[in-house]
Structure 1
Amino acid sequence: MNFFNQLEWSHWKQLTLEDKQLLFRQILMYYVSPLVKVSDVTLVDYELAGIKCTTFECKLDNEEFVFIPGNKEAILGWDLGIQGLPIQEVVYEQELAEESEIFLQFKEIYGFEILDDFNDYVNDFTTPLRKVAVAPMLVQKYALPVGTSFVGSYHTVTANFEGNEIAAAPFLSEIKHQLSPKLSLEESLTWEFPRSLKKDNAYYLEMSSNEDTYSVYKHSADTHQELLKEIHAKGFDLLTEDQWEYAVGGGTRRIFRWGNELLSDQSPWAKSVREKKEGPNMFGLIIDTSKTRFELTRDPSVLKLDIIEDSGCPIIDCLPLSSYYQSGIMIQGESPLAPEEFLYRKTISIEMTQ
Structure 2
Amino acid sequence: MNENLFRPQFDALKLSDKLWLMQTLAARYHLTFKELYAFSRWGQSCTTGLFEKGGREFVFVPGDTVTLGWEGFVQGMDKANREELADMFAEIEYEDTAEEFLRQGMAPVRQVTIGPMFVGRKLEEIGWENVPMNDPRITAHPDWLENLQKLDSKDGRSVEINQTVRFQRNGDSWQAWLCHPMTYPEFRRSLLWDLTATLPTPDEWAYLCGGGCRTLFPWGDGLDRKMKLHHFESEEDQGKPYDMEQPNFFGLSIAYDPYMREVVEADTLTTCGGDGGCNICGGMGPLLGYLPCSPHCKPEVREDNEIHNNFDFFRPVIRVQTSGWKMGSPGDER
Matched, 1:333 2:304: yes
How many angstroms does 1:352 deviate by?
A: 4.1
Which residue identity is paired with 1:296? V
2: distance between equivalents of 1:215 and 1:290? 24
Query: Residue 86 of structure 1 aligns with which residue?
Result: 78
**Structure 2 residues not aligned, in runs of 5+:** 234-241, 325-334
Query: Residue 153 of structure 2 aligns with which residue?
Result: 188
Aligned mate of 2:124, from 144, 151, 158: 144
How many angstroms does 1:144 deviate by?
A: 1.0
How many angstroms does 1:237 deviate by?
A: 0.7
Change (3 A) 1:255 1:196: farther
Change (3 A) 1:219 1:28: farther
TM-score, normalised relative to structure 2: 0.76
Q: Is the 8 A contact 1:89 1:314 kept in 2?
A: no
Query: Residue 156 of structure 1 aligns with which residue?
Result: none
Q: Is the 8 A contact 2:76 2:221 kept in 1?
A: yes
Report the count of equivalent residues.
306
Matched, 1:129 2:109: yes
Aligned mate of 2:182, from 222, 243, 264: 222
Identity %: 22
How many angstroms does 1:206 deviate by?
A: 6.9
Change (3 A) 1:19 1:87: same
Query: Residue 315 of structure 2 aligns with which residue?
Result: 345
How many angstroms does 1:75 deviate by?
A: 1.1
Query: Residue 157 of structure 1 aligns with which residue?
Result: none
TM-score, normalised relative to structure 1: 0.72
2: distance between equivalents of 1:270 and 1:292? 17
Which residue identity is paired with 2:119? V
Residue deviations 1:254-279 (CA, integer Å, cap 9, x gap):
21123334144xxxx44599853231
Change (3 A) 1:221 1:93: closer
Which residue identity is paired with 1:192? G
How many angstroms does 1:39 deviate by?
A: 3.8
Residue deviations 1:124-170 (CA, integer Å, cap 9, x gap):
11111111000011011111122347x6xxxxxxxxxxxxx9x9984
Which residue identity is paired with 2:158? P
Backbone CA RMSD of aligned residues: 3.8
Q: Is the 8 A contact 2:61 2:116 kept in 1?
A: yes
Matched, 1:65 2:65: no
SS in 2 for 1:91: helix
How many angstroms does 1:215 deviate by?
A: 8.7
Change (3 A) 1:90 1:313: farther
1: distance between equivalents of 2:296 and 2:85? 25
How many angstroms does 1:6 deviate by?
A: 0.5
2: distance between equivalents of 1:247 and 1:294? 15
How many angstroms does 1:205 deviate by?
A: 6.2
SS in 2 for 1:303: strand
